[in-house]
Structure 1
Amino acid sequence: MAQLTPLGAGLTPGNNPHIIRPLSAPPSSVSAASSSSSVSDPTLPKFKVESATVTQLNVEGSKLTATWDFTLLAANPSRKLEPYYSRVQAGVRYQDGCRDVYTLVKNPFPSFVLSRRNQTRVSLRLGVWRQPGRQVAQGISGERKSELVSFGFRLLAKVWFEYSRILPAERGWMLVSCDRVDFDFSGKNGTGEMTSRSGQCDVDYYPILPLGSTYQ
């Protein structure tokens, strides 16, 4: 199991680890692409939520408080590509992705490298950044009473794919979407634990095209 390795100076763009804004969509200057047409190797890294908890979940009227702890298992099956991640952002969603529960990374996550044919774990702690409104808060409260609350999780990061020390790296944004993460609140300690049947994630890659080029 590889350990998370901070990026070396000069290898990739600098990363400000202090996330002070909620998760945003990839910039409008990039173009969406499928994995088979975005990079030479069609095998993109795989992500899944390995474990997750929700603590201190409380709703009073329209006010929501909660802390989410997520551990993602990231695997790189490629023999060619070595992705370097920076500018990590994360967000929690509710109600089948229709609304965001805006969050920030309480424990900022640094840049990291996912080595070829290897895997590593990414741990993030999130908390409520902006109140989502009464409708969302009351919906969460109703599910909490039934002892099962479903959230979605997204992670966005800038990524460089390095092929070798000779060939230029390909740049882009990677969006990891885990649309359903179910939390069981049936325990006596009030903590929501992720159920074993949830936590699958999809990965989308958005290449940053050279100035003046046309994506095919």
Structure 2
Amino acid sequence: MADRVYPSAKPTASGGGENVAFPPAKVLPPNATRPFYRPQLLRHRNRRSCCCRCCLWITFTIFLIVILAALSGVLVWFVYRPHTPHFSVSSFQVSELNIKSSKLISKFNLTLIAQNPNKKIVFFYDPTAISITSDGVDIGDGTLPAFTQATRNTTALRTVIGGSAARSIDDASAILLKSKLKNSGNLAVKIQLDTKVKVKMGALKTKKVAIRVSCDGINAAVPVGKAAKTATVANVKCKVDLRIKIWKWTL
């Protein structure tokens, strides 16, 4: 009986069996190629998006406020037609003007005319400070009491500025005033008024706004004896400016 030959269980290196990789390759999961996001990156992106949304809302709110303010201003203009008050100098008299050394004695009689040209607006004036200067030198100060000016109203404001009390001025100012009086016999005078006014438009009342009134073109002569010297005021022009204060600046 012939002998049977059984093959070995392990294939030889040079044998013709199948090639098997060793060790076997690892099988990657289906989502292995996707990037891995860290939680910190997500938080940073959320913060940036929140900041962008806040900036957009703030910009939109500011733009809306500006639009509403402009519309309100246009509406007030068409309803009330507001105009600034008018001021003029009716009379200016020099009762006394004496310069001795560095002492100045001055007295002036002033009459101002305040006009409210508005049909639906009332002005409420605080006490008014008056300053009279010549070439930048202060030669007299006074005040006007508070008053209310109704619609389409003209008010005459009379006051006496200065007095018999002497006031001190520096030597340079005294020399300048004496030279002006000696050469021309009169002084170029400027009147300045500073006050605050509140405006009433129907049921609406605004806050107090500072205004400054400047009147130029007055030539004042020194009186002779006790009779006051009346200045010519035909060419006097008064300018009204709003004095709006924003932080440290006054516009």
Q: Same fold (TM over 0.5)?
A: yes
1:169 aligns with 2:206: yes
In 1, are the aligned partners of 2:111 and 2:157 still within 8 Å (CA)? yes
Q: Residues 42 and 138 from structure 1, CA distance in 2 versus in 1: closer, same or farther, beyond 3 angstroms?
A: farther
Aligned counterpart in structure 1 of residue 84 of structure 2, from 40, 44, 52: 44
TM-score (norm 1): 0.67
Distance 1:197 1:136, change over 3 A: farther
Contact 1:64 1:131 (C-alpha < 8 Å) held by counterparts? yes
Distance 1:198 1:189, change over 3 A: farther
Match for 1:87 among 120, 123, 127?
A: 127
Q: How do 1:64-143 residues align onto structure 2 when only pairs under 5 Å count?
A: 64-95=104-135, 99-101=136-138, 103-105=140-142, 108-127=143-162, 130-143=167-180
The match for 2:44 is none
The reply on whether 1:158 has 2:193 as its aligned counterpart is no
- Which structure has more relative contact order (CA 8 Å, sep 6+)? It is 1
CA contact (8 A) 2:89 2:233 kept: no
What TM-score do you get using the length of structure 2 for normalisation?
0.58
Deviation at 1:199, TM superposition (A): 2.5
1:44 partner SS: coil
Contact kept, 8 Å, 1:90 with 1:156, in 2: the verdict is yes
Report which of the two structures shows the higher radius of gyration computed on alpha carbons.
2
Task: Output the CA distance in 2 between the equivalents of 1:208 and 1:143.
Answer: 36
RMSD of Structure 2 on Structure 1 (CA):
2.9
Any unmatched runs of 5+ in structure 2?
A: 1-72
* Residues 1:147 and 2:185 are matched in the alignment: yes
AA aligned to 2:151 is R
Cα separation, 2, equivalents of 1:168 and 1:66: 40
Q: For 2:194, what is the secondary structure of its paired residue?
A: strand
Give the 3 Å change call, closer, same or farther, for CA 156–94 of structure 1 in structure 2. same
Equivalent residues of 1:162, 1:170 under 8 A apart: no
Secondary structure (helix, strand or coil) at the match of 1:201 reads strand
Q: Tell me how far 1:142 sits from its aligned partner.
A: 2.7
Quick one: which amino acid aligns to residue 73 of structure 1? I
Would you tell me which structure has more helix in proportion to its own residues? 2
Q: Gaps (5+ residues) in structure 1?
A: 1-35, 212-216
